[in-house]
Each structure stands twice: as C-alpha cells, then as structure tokens.
Chain A
Amino acid sequence: MKQNLLCGLLVALLLTSSISAYAQKIGDHAPEFQATGSNGQTHKLSEYRGKFVVLEWHNNGCPYTRKHYESGNMQRLQKEWTARGVIWFTVISSAPRQQGYATAQQENDYLKQMNGSPTAALLDPQGDVGRLYSAKTTPHMFIINPAGILIYDGAIDSKATTDQADIATATNYVSQALEEAMAGKVVTTPTSRPYGCSVKYAH
C-alpha cells in the first residue's frame, strides 16, 4: 500500500515536471502513455510497436476542429489510414467543464453521429497524455513510426484557418509524412506550428 503511494507520488512528480521539462523532439522515442478509450479499453503506446500511430488532439467545440470534422476531412483521414494499418488515436485532454470535455458515452455518440473511425478515442481529462506530449492546440497531430520514434509533431495541414474551403488546397502534413515514411523516405516536413484553439487543460 505504502509502495503504491510512493509510486503514485513519483509518477505525479514526473508528470508535473514534464510540463516545464523539454518535450520530446523529432527523432526521439515517443513517450510511453497509457489511457482509456471511450470503448472502455486501455491502450498503451508500447502495445502498438510495429505499427504507425497517429495522435490527434481533439475538442469538438473548437472552430478549427470543427473545420476538419464538419467537412468530413478528419473522418476521411481516419478511415483511409486505419485501413492502411495505421493506429489512430483521437485524444481529448479537455478538463471537466471545459470545452471539448466528453464522457465515454458522449464521445461514442459523437463518433457515431460524425462517422468518425479512429482506432480509439482516448479520454485524458487530467491532461496527462497532453502534457506528456506538450499538445498545444486542437487539432495537434503527432506521428510515431513502427520503431516507436516520433516522426511528426505539428499542424494537420498547411493552412492555419477555420475555413473549410482551405482544406482542398492545403498540404496535409499527416498524409504526407505517412506516405513518405511508409515508402522509407525522409519526412520532408517533420514539424510545423500546430494551429487551433488551446488545449483546455485542468489548471
């Protein structure tokens, strides 16, 4: 019991220190995380070694997230890439009572209504996974390669607006990075400024 308390304290300390510590960089091992999905299943990043993993930070009320969902763009990406063996996690780090917060039921309803098909929607209301990755905005996209290395950290695409009309003419950095990495090529745009609303972390 005492051991658990000590471990808990250590983990808490590590997590709080990760807020001010330097976040992982491109080429580093992506930090291990564990989170529960809206379907009740627990997911650990290390379970997906051998596959590409996409992390999509999400807030369904944010106008930038809505740009990509109301246009069907995000759902298209989820469908296309999961069909090609990519693990896609939508991550919700909004604290309770903040915009974007969702219970498992609410998130499942939302996914059904919006026709979303991520591998899972990870519920992170304490913001642990968000802070671990320094997720700044919704959307903010990360890609981890089958060796567990972070190969992309940034915006979903090259046009930082709320206008759906910009999607068609933007470069989709996620698709670009996945195509390149799957072909064994260097990722030409490994980082970009993630655009969107700030992630609504618990204070």
Chain B
Amino acid sequence: MLDRSVIRLVCFFSVGVTCLVLPTLTKAESPGDQHVKIELISEQDAIVPHRKVWVGIRFDLQDGWHTYWVNPGDSGEPPRIEWELPEGFEADAIQWPYPQRLSIPPFADFGYEHQVLLIAAVQTPPGLKEGVRERIAARVHYLVCRDVCIPGQKQLELTLPVKSRAVAGSDLQLFEATRCRLPQPAPERWKISAASIGDDFVLNLIIGRSAGAPQFFPLEEEQIENAAPQTATTIPGGFRLHLKKSGHLLKPLSRLRGVMVLGSGKAYRVDIPVSQSSSNVHTQ
C-alpha cells in the first residue's frame, strides 16, 4: 500500500504540472495518522476538586517510525502541546521520559520508537461541582519520521466526572512505567563534574559504583556532536565520560544540563558548571 508521501513524489516527477497543486487534506485525513496513533489518557477515572490529575499524550508508532525528545538532535522536531482546560485548571510542564539515540548516519537524533507517553499534572481548582463532567483537551503538533518525515496536528480530548474520590484507570501501569523512565535528581552523595578539555567535555561521575554503558543526552541543542561515540572509562568510584563538543559551539559553555542514563535504565538529571581548566577536573 503506497503511502501518501510516495504518491505525492510520483506525481511530482511525472511530466506535466497537473499533479503539482496537491489537494489539501481534510483534518480527518492527516497523513501522519497512518503511522502514529495519538491519544489523550488519564491516570485516574475522575477529577477530585483541588487535587491534581495526571494526564498523558500517548503516541503509538508504527514499526520504523519515531518521534522526538525535547532536544530532537540533528534533525526533527519535538511534539508541541497546546492545552485547552476548563476555568481554574492549569497544566504543569510535560515530563519527558529519557529518549533513545536514533542513528541517522552520519548523524543522530534523540527520540522515541514504538510507544511513548508524555505525562503532565493538571492542577484543578476547589469548588468543582460533583457529578459534572469536565473536558480536558489538547492540540498536539507533531512530527513522525522514518525515511521521510510527516508533520501533523491532532485534536484530542477526554472528559472526566468530578467526584470526591478517584480510582486508578486502566492505563495506570503505563503511567507507572513512564515514571520509571523520567530522569530523577542525582543522589546527594554523587559527585558530578565537567571540564572542557580540547575538543571534548569530560564528565566525571563519582557515584559509588561503575555503570554499564552510560549515555548523556543534553537538554540544549548544539552543545555536543550528537552522533559521536561517548567513550566511558571506569575510574575509582565511578566513571568518566567523554563527549565530543559540537562544531557550532562558538564560545565556552559555562553549564551542562541534560539527562544521564545508566546501563540499568535509570535516568538522572545533570546540571553542572563546566570548568574551563585544561588540566585537572575539579569536583563540585
């Protein structure tokens, strides 16, 4: 079955102009729909006034297709969510599970394959009337890619009754699994430091044990060469990670912020100053 983008290309290259002016697809026929199913789900079955309710945007991607993390890497674009909430409701920031590095030779992107749930807490006001159904909606702007990229927009909504008590809904496990993939603050006892040394950022992580294959994902673009291997060496009490600097870094980086994923699949938030000394790496 030919997908629409292939049909477009075939039209484009055929002799004559007739296919050039492409028909505008209606909202229902967003071409991305074939490759990703997007849904708005809630962790619990009701809204309790003045309590937050966790909702999530679930992306189910066809094999081979991916979408992007907040820093998408060398190409692509992260999804953007516009909330439409009832009076007095407020959505907190989206919580992003740690991504995978997606190899797009000779470059790399950061994103998700198969499935990802982007969760957010919605604060609710007091004084909501019991029994009333409240509507939570979101407009999701997204990009899904495989060998080609398809942008799309999806209007999503769900309604939940206001009750004095709420119980977990059928998607609880997915919410809990997602929480396991959220980066946690680094434990107090860890000593993490970074130095700018030549073409690299060198990170020392003294965490009390060695870790298998750690990976660092910067929160900001244009700081490291995304596709470069991140060589890790074991040092007493932890490991040292070499990150190749981005060729687009024109002035010294004073701070490195990102997500460190350990071999165990646990992710930690890193937010550290970068020492510009070319000799020793100073610990915090």
Contact = CB atoms under 8 A, between A and B. Distances in A.
A99 B3 CA distance: 13
B149 A63 contact: yes
A196 interface: yes
Interface string A106-124: 1001100100000000000
A113 B77 contact: no
26 contacts: A26-B250, A61-B8, A61-B148, A63-B150, A98-B147, A99-B148, A106-B13, A109-B15, A113-B17, A131-B106, A137-B74, A160-B77, A162-B77, A162-B143, A190-B250, A193-B221, A193-B248, A195-B77, A197-B148, A197-B149, A198-B76, A198-B107, A198-B109, A198-B145, A201-B105, A201-B106
B82 interface: no
Nearest to B244: A22
Interface string A53-85: 000000011111000000000000000000000
A193 B72 CA distance: 11
Q: Per DSSP, are chain B's interface residues mostly helix, strand or loop, or mixed?
A: loop
A181 interface: no
Contacts of A193: 221-222, 248
Contacts of B12: 60-61, 110
- Cβ-closest 9 pairs across A and B: A198-B75, A162-B151, A191-B248, A193-B221, A197-B149, A198-B104, A19-B106, A136-B74, A137-B75
A25 interface: yes
A83 B87 CA distance: 54
Interface in B54-109: 74-77, 104-107, 109
B248 A113 contact: no
B146 to A, nearest CB: 10
A23 interface: yes
A113 B9 CA distance: 14
Contacts of A23: 247
A20 interface: yes
Contacts of B145: 197-198
B173 interface: no
Contacts, number: 76
Contacts of B150: 63
Nearest to B9: A61
Given A60-B12, A63-B151, A198 B74 contact: yes
Contacts of A106: 13
A22 B149 contact: no
B199 interface: yes
Interface in A177-203: 190-193, 195-198, 200-201, 203
Contacts of B77: 160-162, 195
Interface in B1-43: 5, 8-9, 12-13, 15, 17, 20
Contacts of B143: 63, 162
Given A60-B12, A63-B151, A98-B147, A203 B248 contact: no
A110 B16 CA distance: 10
A24 B17 CA distance: 40
A154 interface: yes
A90 interface: no
A110 B12 CA distance: 8
Interface in B220-252: 221-222, 247-248, 250
